[in-house]
Each structure stands twice: as C-alpha cells, then as structure tokens.
Structure 1
Amino acid sequence: MGRVTERRRVIRIRDGAVSTRPDTLVTEEPLEIRLGGKPLAITMRTPGDDFALAAGFLVSEGVLASAGELANIVYCAGATGEGGSNSYNVVDVRLAEGVPVPDITLERNVYTTSSCGLCGKASLDAVRTTTRWPLDTSPETPVRIEPATLSALPDRLRSAQRVFERTGGLHAAALFTTDGELLDIREDVGRHNAVDKIVGRALQQGQLPLSSCVLMVSGRASFELVQKAVMAGIPVLAAVSAPSSLAVDLAVETGLTLVGFLRGASMNVYAGEHRLALSAAASTD
C-alpha cells in the first residue's frame, strides 16, 4: 500500500563522466482480481487505487454498472504472503445480493479483452451488445466540444502527473468536462489500468455513466481502451498517439468520438466527428 515508487542504484554516464547514484523507479507488481473468491484476472500494475482498478475492470467486462451492484472489495492473503500474511496483491470483489455472478474465471479469458483471441467482428459485437450505456449517435447529441479545448488537454494531463515527474515511467488517464476542467487523473504502468482506476472511482461514487465527459490518455488508443470508454458511457476518447485499426472500427460501430495524435493544435478525428464543433468549410480528401 502506497508503494508507488522504489529506489535503485544506477551507473550514470554523462559526456564520458561516470558516477553512481540512486534513481527513482515506478513500482510494478501483479494484482490478482478475484470475483466471489474465484480467480478472475491478473494484471501488472502500479500499487494504489487497487479497489478502483478492480471495480473499473468489472465495468469494462460488463459485470458492474452501478455502485449498488457492488457489495465490497477486500484485500486477501496472496500466494506469496508468508504465513498467510497480506501481500496487498490480491483483491476479492463481492457482488451485491441478487447480482448474477458471470461464469468467467482465470482459466477462461473474459470475452472483451484484446488478448482473448476473438476475431475482430466478434469483439465488436461483444462490446456493442453488452454495454449498458449505449452512446448517443445522433448528430444532435448534446455533447459538443471545441477543438481548441481538446488541444489544451495533453498539457493539462502532463502537468497533473505527479509520479511521472519523479520517474518518467508512467502512463496516465484523465477525465475532463467538455469545457476542459480536470475531474480526475490516475497514473499506472499500464494505460488500461489507469483507465480502470478512473472508471472504478466513478462507479464507487455513483457517477456512471460518464456521458458528459472526455477521457484523455497518454500513448496510443488501443481496442481495449475504446472498449473501456464505451462500457463506461464516455462519449469522447482522445489520445496523444495513434489508434489501432480495430479501435477505430469499434469507435465507429458504437458511436464513440475518437481523436488521435492530439498534439498542440493538431489532431486526427477518426470517428464521431459530430461531437466536435468543426468548421463547415472542412474539406475531405
């Protein structure tokens, strides 16, 4: 708990000069997520916000959609804990009474993860048919955002990354209003974990769906990140780097606004352009 960074000895070489010094590194440890006592998933993460991470993961898998469906989340003794001690690397999620427990285990990969081996069409259909917060795809949708507002988000994301400043080794996900106000930010060694922490905190606070928010992520936009945004009812996802082809397909299929290569005043809009206040004179090549 609170093990976000660690110190390690490094040999530093600068302009031919050699010195020894301690360096601050981001911590990476496994987290096992159990559902009703049964192993469900293992992810490599930066310790912290573990309960939110587990809750957000279950939102993305279609298990949870509201705080009332969650009974509690607790740490339990891990396999590496000596003498049954708590390693704080295993969490057990208990659903509220009456909420069905899906037949998903560690041995049977959940269907919506990008590594499950399903074909593209099956993956697209799975997310479209299981989300409890379908996105409004009508051109008259009330969610609108100015390109200039999007342009300011990467700098706001970067300036709010406290641990990145010390380590240079973390991804981040941030939740903004359509006016660019920062609502929440989480850091982790994995972009998908950072998003799960954002979504999980929103679920715990009874804020789902996040239908008036923009999700900003460091790095690229993968299928998995688009999936997580859609499952949380987030209408706009922006990334500083490129999306994958399947990420774009899923955004188009579900009506998500997907923006990539968001750097300064430059950006590519891959899907859902109806939510952006674009000039009517915009040309199409």
Structure 2
Amino acid sequence: MPPPVFRFAPSPNGYLHLGHAYSALLNFDLARRTGGSFLLRIEDIDATRCRPEFEEAIYEDLSWLGITWQAPVRLQSEHLADHRVALEKLTARRLIYPSFESRAEITRLVAEREAVGPWPRDPDGAPHYPGNARSLSRQQRTQLLRSDAPYALRLDMAAALARTGQLHWAEHGAGPNGESGRIAARPDGWGDVILARKETPTSYHLAVVIDDALQGVTEVVRGEDLFWSTSVHRLLQRLLALPEPAYRHHRLILDSDRRKLSKSSAATGLRELRAAGATPAEIRRLVGLT
C-alpha cells in the first residue's frame, strides 16, 4: 500500500490563527507518524479577498512552526482549467443548470416561501435555492447566458442523486455530534449547490474534490465545521469518478466566547502571538498538541 498523503489548504484572505495552526500541525504530525507526505495548497480562487501578502505570511508562519512541505505548492488559481473540465463533464450529463436571480431576489423568494411555511436550509443555515431556473427552456437559458446577466451554475441535486444512489464515507475523526465510522452522506440537505459563478470559475466544493484527486490526497484532515460538506464532496467524487479519500474531522479551536476563531482576531493570530514572544512549542501547548 502506498504511503498516505495529507494536505493543509488555507485561503490567503487573512493571517493564520491558532485554529489554522492546530489543523496544519495535526496534518503534519500524522504525515510524519505514518511515513506519509504533507502537501500545502493555497486556495486562492476568491480574487477579491485573497492577497499576496497573506500568502507570503502563510509560508512564514508555517515555517516558524517547524512545518515543511513538498514542493511545489499548488495554487488553485493556476489550475482553473482542471475545474473547468469537471464542469464541462457535469454539464454534458445535464447535471448542471444556470440560475440568474440576484442575491436580493433569492432573499425575497425565500421570504415568500417562508411566509407560507418552513423552507429548507443547508447545514450551514443558508436557504435552499428557491427559484425556477430548472424549468427555463434551452432558448431562454442561451439568451440569458449571452446577456450581461450574472448567473450561478448549480448542481441539479435530484438528478445527481438519481445517478449515484446512497453514498457513505469513512470517518476516522468525529462530527459535531460525535459521529464516526461509516457515515451516510446526505447531499440532498444542501439543495442545488453552486459549483461556479459567472465571475468565479469554480466553487470551494468543486475545487476541493478536484484538487485532492489530482494531488493524490488520501487523508483529508480538517475542522468539524466541514463535516457535512463531505456529503457534497462524496457526491461529486462519485459523479466525476474520483478516488475516495478517508476523512478525519477534528475539533475546532474556539475563542473565549466559544465561537469559531476569525482571521480578524488579533488575540489568536500567529503573527501577533509570535511578536509577543510565543514559541512554536507554546503554540503546540495552546492548541492541545504535545
């Protein structure tokens, strides 16, 4: 059996904090313990928020922690063609459709639905898509796509599940409620998820499964806040005939108010802690690693 492959994949839209340190160190430690390899990927598809100085800071902070990684670093923005190929495959199978409502229009439609009764929301609390773009004719879609109208490319969840049936994943960590072992995926709980937008050629859900597969990642170790996102990722892996990695979702490092850490929190930022005299060993102690 080949050695396992781990990865840490931050977005350069802010400076790293203790939660990032815990995830990066945990992946790095597991790679060393199992004789595997550790990869670094920069998820920089959001051109409006990602900045070069944040990317450089990621390299500096990880090096200071004593973490090393295999070269080269994969920048998502340099591999958008890989994500485009995947979108084209799903489009050819009629599993993707464009929707044209603005965010304000979607908010209004959801309010109308909720005035009648409960409207489903995904595990992150966002409402399912409430529009009727699936029923547009091919001619209507073509005309709208050729116009300047913004659009989102959505996965037709019902059609996708009809192709795959029930899905599972191997969980070696634990979910928010202690779930572990063989987990039944529930992608329908996310509704018709967005896989790309007119101004953004790929989404997190699509990019992460494509990049993990192309990099040969076998062990996905990440925070438990992404536990149920795995349902969507398993669906896309099956639809695109991609390998299935093992998953290990870890606890989150929380602030004093028991909230998930933010990149804007100076109190837990690695750069601020380092400037205050903290050592890498102290960072390990703060996040609960020996």
The TM-score bracket by the shorter chain reads: under 0.3
Please state which structure has a larger fraction of its residues in strand.
Answer: 1
Q: Which has the higher contact order (CA 8 A, sep 6+)?
A: 2
| TM-score (norm. length: structure 2) | 0.22
- Which is richer in helix? 2
